[in-house]
Chains A and B, each alone.
Chain A
Amino acid sequence: MTSELDIFVGNTTLIDEDVYRLWLDGYSVGDAVALRVRSGILEQTGATAAVLQSDTMDHYRTFHMLERLLHAPPKLLHQLIYQIPPSRQALLIERYYAFDEAFVREVLGKKLSKGTKKDLDDISTKTGITLKSCRRQFDNFKRVFKVVEEMRGSLVDNVQQHFLLSDRLARDYAAIVFFANNRFETGKKKLQYLSFGDFAFCAELMIQNWTLGAVGEAPTDPDSQVDDMDMDLDKEFLQDLKELKVLVADKDLLDLHKSLVCTALRGKLGVFSEMEANFKNLSRGLVNVATKLTHNKDVRDLFVDLVEKFVEPCRSDHWPLSDVRLFLNQYSASVHSLDGFRHQALWDRYMGTLRGCLLRLYHD
């Protein structure tokens, strides 16, 4: 007796969250059944392995049929074939677009191209995530990228509108898309200690402050706006950053800056002497990062540079985070007292974001 055909169709489509997770994680039906057996479900329900097999097959078939719709979530809402309560639809979409931390760290900042897709095998072996799941996550990134790439307006809003993701997940995708578009290097060994959350945090700050859309000069003059609003860094801004060079090139200005900071922080900083000794190096590092951003190559190395030029020196001197915060605040603010420096707004736009990023990046 062999089962030729075995199906269950509900008027309301049944979604088993556990099986959905197994499916998303890329397990085969056989593996999924084995995992479910191990979870003790047979004992809880008194079912047999055959029942479990049939149930798993059924759910997998349903998910497979739903997958086409999940590629364009608004379709899932408007389609008539599967009657799914809104809360369940949201769950399906949200889980489908969720990704693994380990995976996203591997591809963050990489070009979402065929070449990278070929590397998925290695990523799968390295992370222990099934190849199938890697593919889904990669394809999700790529799909979202493709859809929002050419769009104007807020990146997060665009992602949310077209993929109906939660605010949180839409922000993450915005970060992924932003990183992929600007190709920030995140894979270097010295960046390994950073989590996706760290990068996403920085991405959000940069999108808010450093892109075209950030300035608020929005679509007043649509003809001149060739570039995307949120995806690309504001070229003009990057160009202007060269002006900051004076802060370290002009020795008087640098000394004055240093004395202002030191005076303000004396007695408040545990690592005052180290700061005093390192001030010029740190300041040079931070300003040089700014002035180099006109080159694509240097933009990509932004995070490497920040870690090399700032995070690592401070860390080797064992600065506590509170001291780093105090220093950065004072370092940014003191520039306003430098009479010879005319680019206060530019400095704030640069340093405001950088300060936020550095504080986030500063941990073990």
Chain B
Amino acid sequence: MPGKLKVKIVAGRHLPVMDRASDLTDAFVEVKFGNTTFKTDVYPKSLNPQWNSEWFKFEVDDEDLQDEPLQITVLDHDTYSANDAIGKVYIDIDPLLYSEAATVISGWFPIYDTIHGIRGEINVVVKVDLFNDLNRFRQSSCGVKFFCTTSIPKCYRAVIIHGFVEELVVNEDPEYQWIDRIRTPRASNEARQRLISLMSGELQRKIGLKVLEMRGNAVVGYLQCFDLEGESGLVVRAIGTACTLDKLSSPAAFLPACNSPSKEMKEIPFNEDPNPNTHSSGPSTPLKNQTYSFSPSKSYSRQSSSSDTDLSLTPKTGMGSGSAGKEGGPFKALLRQQTQSALEQREFPFFTLTAFPPGFLVHVGGVVSARSVKLLDRIHNPAFVGIMGNTRSYKLLDWNSFNSDEPETRDAWWAEIRQEIKSHAKALGCHAVVGYSESTSICEEVCILSASGTAAVLNPRFLQDGTVEGCLEQRLEENLPAGCGFCHIPYDELNMPFPAHLTYCYNCRKQKVPDVLFTTIDLPTDATVIGKGCLIQARLCRLKKKAQAEANATAISNLLPFMEYEVHTQLMNKLKLKGMNALFGLRIQITVGENMLMGLASATGVYLAALPTPGGIQIAGKTPNDGSYEQHISHMQKKINDTIAKNKELYEINPPEISEEIIGSPIPEPRQRSRLLRSQSESSDEVTELDLSHGKKDAFVLEIDDTDAMEDVHSLLTDVPPPSGFYSCNTEIMPGINNWTSEIQMFTSVRVIRLSSLNLTNHALNKNFNDLCENLLKSLYFKLRSMIPCCLCHVNFTVSLPEDELIQVTVTAVAITFDKNQALQTTKAHVEKSLQRASTDNEELLQFPLELCSDSLPSHPFPPAKEHLESASSNSGIPAAQRAVTVEKTSPMGEGNFRNRSAAPCANSTVGVVKMTPLSFIPGAKITKYLGIINMFFIRETTSLREEGGVSGFLHAFIAEVFAMVRAHVAALGGNAVVSYIMKQCVFMENPNKNQAQCLINVSGDAVVFARESELEVVSTQQPAANCQPACTGGEVTT
């Protein structure tokens, strides 16, 4: 069934001068959708053309509506030679296809050229008339809503959470086609941008179909990534969680969050059980080492050396749908989905969500992860050179064979990994995996696929088909105590999958808990936390020999277990050093380069009240007879103890009953000690049996047997805490801070360092990497110092190794200010309230299990800071979306807008503010509408790198342009913010000798409309105060 797409080109502004002679431009516009193209008239001799075109109408299938982007090209008319392109705008019209999202796209879009960047702006109006489609065999999935947010979106409630959906599509990469030899870089870049846009649309449509099959109406936690596999192609893959969502319409749902006290702020005293003794008498410690169940090394080598034939034998476990869309007709696809959808869902009970409706999460087992090293296909044939002048050679592929088997291969690879994840989860006694994510790292023809998540037991009532075993019902009948239920072990105590140290829960004293808990999810709403959390990172480099193909893959496979082990050790050490006992939001990234592997793990450490107090760290020397050595050791020991004590103070970790004991004796009695073997010469065959439990709870011993170990201890101590007034975490919100004010600053920071190639050792490498990350953090703290007190939330580090000696670190995060004073006043009230709240929640839960009001999710911890909010909102002058839009419309050109001399000139700005944040919420505000997903891909290239300010100038300008284009799209949708924003890829390549550089950026997020809480309360009375902005103040003549 067709839909009708209508486009109107209104005007342009700030166009570049295209005709040197007249210093003007004769601009016209081409509007293209699918294979249809319309043109406007030429608007002669103007840099601010007013086309005011008719409505261009495209009659198209809704399948095309979903796949194709609207392509708008601005050109300069030239009578005698070819018309010059000024730039393009790609508009994803997907948001217009949902009933509840945007109804019109209208606004100023930056005109973008891959060589010159943004060149002026164009005003466009886009509408879609969609006819209802009742065809069951349809290929489109219009109406399925997509959310990047990894929790139930704020103005919806989850009726059913169906489960995992995935899809991938493969294509040739235009940059590696033979035609690339003869076309311009611009044409090549545009071909790539367009292709990725098309593939994203197709992928989203296919996922949508799967959701419809599952009878869902939305995908939450939608994560789409692309793999640039070089000559073997371009893979776009996506995962998400299918849900059935209901829009909350009752006004009660929009009450300011202050009415629902934040729950993570509970500092519940241990009232119920004053008996403190279990601390020392528990059985030996478990640490969820199984969480770190990497694939056995045997399996690595098998996979890495596997050829195509080998892989094609791998059973497809029902995941082979990626290929079907292309070859199979609608009927076939339907059949396949009907037979497999139910099975599939059981096959992979994964959830990309990281925060859940209350009661959804029953128990958490621990982190499960799997990695596998794969060789990308390589066919040995004549070569050509890529545009960046790499010396690498590429070949012509037989695209026919390529297209037919590529998706199956990739699907099979991922299916394998998912199977492994699933079995790990089973081993932990869990039937589901939450906070699930997948990633790749590619270097030449080697690719590391990684998946990780948190094994969990879920409440089956929220799942449609009750895939859960009956025994779980029993557990659910128990009245789970609030704030600790999820910590209780899901596995059988007598039949533990790994050695673990269990104690009775410090909160309820009824169930067993481990001594340390690692997870990939956000801190559950009802968790009881003591003190504040902090960002904990483990950083690691390992040199590897340069090698080709299989040898290379084998080398990587052999290194991986060691990396995982050491990353884990570092995390554990740092966690103990902070005096904390649980990690949330854990993300371990392993990056492969030509001659090294990098590991970076980030997580947010917290002290969970339910888990036992962590023991200290004990250092043991190997040569006890040497006096000075002993002295040195004891000196270090003292330093460590001091650091722990200091951290406890810094993060306000004062567990109520046993605090004295902790501070008094960080090191317990010697009899509890056990040695940890950390020698690297350990036989690698034993890797699978690695005991990551690090011995007993109170006896965490670091044995210093070589200089490496010494350095490790040193590096532990060199991690500087953030300056006072600063906190940082990589989760949505900071445990222990609940009084956010409305000022937010999202940023991206990129650093690339060049290693001196001589005599690189693992040790030097580690130090360089560590310094890089630490300096980057320090720089951030310095830059944002004006926001103190503030917290860096959702700190997301990405490491890549673009070349031999280059390390690139990209950080995206948001700084949010909070009110220090208010925290003190409200803490007490919160504790009491939350106690009550917890119990009522439980009752409600049992009665109305399906009433999952997303409103009580963790993201509304804002007490009523009214004065603050009001002043802040008027300061920043954030207009409601509608206002921003109307302002734009009424003053199209802005000329003559500045007539009024007495008014401050700058108050006339017509550009509405668009906030961007990686979080799922806006502090101090309510999200009132989701407008659709933003998923954009840009390429920028330059052949005049020096002139553009070198690599820094080039990338700085590009990232600023990307932000601008995201904001413009959101504003055109009628939105005023992007939430769950993420920069998924930032691939930067340079060739300074040739004065060239190229960068690819992929970003996504959810466009939303938000309203300040203060505005919501006094909707009508608050008039735009923009006109009475104080006049410019700095008018003095400098002396």
Residues of A within 8 A of B (CB): 1-14, 45-48, 50-52, 54-55, 57-58, 61-62, 64-65, 73-75, 77-83, 85-87, 89-91, 93-95, 98-101, 104, 156-157, 160-161, 164-169, 172, 196-197
In angstroms, Cα B906 to Cα A102, docked, is 29
In the complex, the answer to whether A89 meets B960 with C-beta atoms within 8 Å is: no
Task: Say if the beta carbon of B907 comes within 8 Å of chain A.
Answer: yes
- B806: chain A residues within 8 A (beta carbon): 4
* Shortest distance between the CB of A171 and any CB in chain B (Å): 9
Number of interface residues of B (CB under 8 A): 79
A1 touches B754 (CB 8 A): yes
Query: Is B622 positioned at the interface, with any CB of A under 8 Å from its CB?
Result: no
Binds A, one of B300-308, B389-397, B775-783, B863-871: B775-783
Known: A11-B963, A86-B906. A99 touches B1035 (CB 8 A): no
CB pair A9 B1034 closer than 8 Å: no
What residues of A have a CB within 8 angstroms of the CB of B13 in the complex?
78
User: Given contacts A83-B964, A98-B1037, could you give 20 more A-B pairs where the C-beta distance is less than 8 Å?
Assistant: A1-B754, A2-B754, A9-B959, A10-B747, A11-B747, A12-B745, A51-B778, A61-B953, A78-B911, A80-B108, A80-B110, A86-B907, A90-B1031, A93-B1032, A157-B901, A161-B905, A164-B906, A166-B1031, A166-B1032, A169-B1035
Residue B477 at the chain A interface, CB threshold 8 Å? no
From residue B715, how far is it (CB to closest CB) to chain A in Å? Answer: 16
A323 and B963 CA atoms in complex are apart in Å by 65
Are the C-beta atoms of B783 and A14 separated by less than 8 Å? Answer: yes
Knowing A4-B951, A83-B913, say if A77 contacts B906 (CB, 8 Å). yes
The 10 closest A-B pairs by CB, nearest first: A166-B1035, A164-B905, A90-B1032, A168-B1035, A5-B752, A90-B906, A166-B1032, A10-B747, A94-B1034, A4-B752
Q: Which of A57, A75, A83, A172 is most buried by chain B, counting CB atoms within 10 A of its CB?
A: A83
Q: Which residue of B lies closest to A81 (CB)?
A: B964
Which residues of chain B come closer than 8 Å to A10, judged between CB atoms? 745-747
Q: Which one, A4, A9, A169, A196, contacts B753 given CB within 8 A?
A: A4
**A7 near B967: Cβ-Cβ < 8 Å:** no
Q: Say yes or no for B419: interface residue by CB 8 A criterion.
A: no
Check if A81 sits within 8 Å of B960, measured CB to CB: yes
- Nearest-neighbor residue (CB-CB) of B108 within chain A: A80
Residue in A79, A101, A164 whose beta carbon sits within 8 Å of that of B1037 in the complex = A101
Residues of B within 8 A of A167 (CB): 901-902, 1031, 1035
Tell whether, in the assembled complex, residue B751 and residue A6 are in contact, meaning their CB atoms are under 8 Å apart: yes
Chain B's nearest CB lies how many Å from the CB of A51?
Answer: 5
- Binary per-residue interface labels of chain B (933-964) against chain A in the complex, 1 for a CB within 8 Å, 0 otherwise: 00000000000000001011101110111011
Residues in B with CB closer than 8 Å to A75 are 14
* Interchain CB contact under 8 A, A1 and B953: no
> What are 14 of the A-B contact pairs (CB < 8 Å)?
A7-B955, A8-B749, A9-B959, A48-B778, A61-B953, A61-B956, A65-B957, A79-B14, A90-B1034, A98-B1037, A99-B1038, A164-B905, A166-B1032, A167-B1031
**Bound complex: CA of A93 vs CA of B904, how far in Å?**
12
Residues of B within 8 A of A98 (CB): 1034, 1036-1038
Q: Per a CB cutoff under 8 Å, which of B752, B782, B988, B1035 touches A47? A: B782
* B771: interface (CB < 8 Å): yes
* Nearest CB on A from B898, distance (A): 5
Complex interface: chain B residues within 8 A of A157 (CB): 901
List the A side residues contacting B1038 at CB < 8 Å. Answer: 98-101
Q: Is there an interface contact between B1039 and A9, defined as CB atoms closer than 8 Å?
A: no
Q: How far is the CA of A291 from the CA of B1038 in the complex (A)?
A: 37
Instruction: Establish whether residues B747 and A8, one from each chain, have CB atoms under 8 Å apart when the complex forms.
Output: yes
When C-beta atoms are compared, the residue in chain A nearest to B109 turns out to be A80
Which residues of the other chain, B, contact A11 by a CB distance below 8 angstroms?
745-747, 915-916, 963, 967
CB distance from A98 to the nearest CB of B (A): 5
Q: Tell me, yes or no, whether B748 is within 8 Å of chain A by CB.
A: yes
The smallest beta-carbon distance between B911 and chain A, in angstroms, is 6
Find out whether the CB atom of A83 lies under 8 angstroms from the CB atom of B914: yes
Chain B, 117-153, CB within 8 A of any chain A CB: 118, 121
> Does B466 count as interface, using CB distance less than 8 angstroms?
no
Can you list, as one digit per residue, whether each of B744-778 has a CB less than 8 Å from chain A (1) or not (0)? 01111111111110000000000010011001001
- In the complex, how many angstroms separate the beta carbon of B997 from the nearest chain A beta carbon? 10
Instruction: Kindly list chain A residues whose C-beta atoms are within 8 Å of the C-beta of B749.
Output: 7-9
Most buried by B among A55, A78, A160: A78
- The majority secondary structure among interface residues of chain A is helix
How would residues 714 to 752 of chain B score, 1 for a CB under 8 Å from any chain A CB and 0 otherwise?
Answer: 000000000100000000000000000000011111111
Q: Which residues of A contact B1033 (CB under 8 A)?
A: 90-91, 94, 166
Q: Does B785 contact A (CB under 8 A)?
A: yes
Do A78 and B723 have beta carbons less than 8 Å apart?
no
Question: Closest CB of chain A to B1003's CB: distance in Å?
Answer: 12
Task: Say yes or no: A164-B898 contact (C-beta < 8 A), given A8-B779, A11-B916.
Answer: yes
Cβ proximity bits B958-1000 to A, threshold 8 Å, 1 near / 0 not:
0111011001100000000000000000001000000000000
A90–B753 contact, CB under 8 A?
no
State whether A165 and B905 are in contact (beta carbons under 8 Å apart), knowing that A12-B745, A79-B14, A93-B1032 are contacts in the complex. yes
By a CB distance below 8 angstroms, the chain A residues around B956 are 7, 9, 58, 61-62, 65
Are A3 and B968 in contact (CB-based, < 8 A)?
A: no
Nearest CB in chain A: distance from B732 CB, A:
18
Is B899 part of the binding interface, using a Cβ–Cβ cutoff of 8 Å? Answer: yes
Question: Which residue of the partner chain, among B110, B768, B875, B988, contacts A1 with CB atoms under 8 Å?
Answer: B768
Tell me the complex Cα distance, A197–B1039, Å.
11
Bound complex: CA A104 to CA B1037 (Å):
10
For the complex formed, measure the closest distance between the CB of A38 and the CB atoms of chain B, giving whole angstroms.
Answer: 17
Decide if B1029 is an interface residue (CB 8 Å cutoff).
Answer: yes
Contact of B747 with A94 in the complex, beta carbons under 8 Å = no
A158 → B minimal CB distance (Å) = 10
B910 within 8 Å of A (CB atoms): yes
Once the chains are docked, how many angstroms separate the CA of A85 from the CA of B781? 22
In the complex formed, the residue of A with least CB distance to B723 is A46
Residue of A nearest to B811 (CB): A8
- Once the chains are docked, how many angstroms separate the CA of A95 from the CA of B118? 26
Chain A hits for B906, CB < 8 A? 77, 86-87, 89-90, 93, 164
**In the bound complex, CA of A2 to CA of B1037 (Å):** 42
In this assembly, does B184 line the interface, its C-beta being within 8 Å of a C-beta of chain A? no
CB distance from B888 to the nearest CB of A (A): 10
- B894 contacts chain A at the CB level, 8 A cutoff: yes
Q: Which residues of A contact B14 (CB under 8 A)?
A: 75, 78-79
CA–CA, A85 and B911, complex, Å: 10
Given contacts A3-B751, A85-B877, contact A90 B905 (CB under 8 A): yes
**A200: nearest chain-B partner, CB-CB:** B1037
* Chain B residues whose CB sits within 8 angstroms of the CB of A50 once the complex forms: 775
* Minimum Cβ distance to chain A for residue B306 (Å): 37
A3 close to B782 (CB less than 8 A): no
Q: A10: shortest Cβ distance to chain B, in Å?
A: 4
Evaluate whether A51 and B899 lie within 8 angstroms (CB atoms) in the complex, with A80-B108, A94-B1032 already known: no
Query: Is B665 an interface position by the 8 A CB rule?
Result: no
Complex contact A85–B876 (CB within 8 A):
yes
CA distance A52 to B13 in the complex (A): 38
Give which listed residue, B748, B894, B988, B1030, contacts A74 with CB less than 8 A.
B894
Tell me whether B960 and A4 are in contact (CB under 8 A): no
With a cutoff of 8 Å between Cβ atoms, the chain A residues found around residue B753 in the complex are: 1-4
- Which residue of the partner chain A has the closest CB to B891? A78
Task: List the B side residues contacting A2 at CB < 8 Å.
Answer: 753-754, 756
Asked whether any CB of chain A lies closer than 8 Å to the CB of B909, the reply is yes
Smallest CB separation, B71 vs chain A (Å): 20
Residues of B within 8 Å of A86, CB to CB, are: 877, 906-907, 909, 1026, 1029
Q: B118: which A residues are within 8 A, CB to CB?
A: 80-81
Q: Which residues of B contact A13 (CB under 8 A)?
A: 960
Of A6, A78, A90, the residue contacting B894 (CB under 8 A) is A78
B647 at the interface (CB under 8 A from A): no
Determine the chain A residues whose CB is within 8 A of the CB of B952 once the complex forms: 5-7, 57, 61
Closest to B907 in A: A86
Do B905 and A5 have beta carbons less than 8 Å apart?
A: no
Are A80 and B751 neighbours in the complex by a CB distance under 8 Å? no
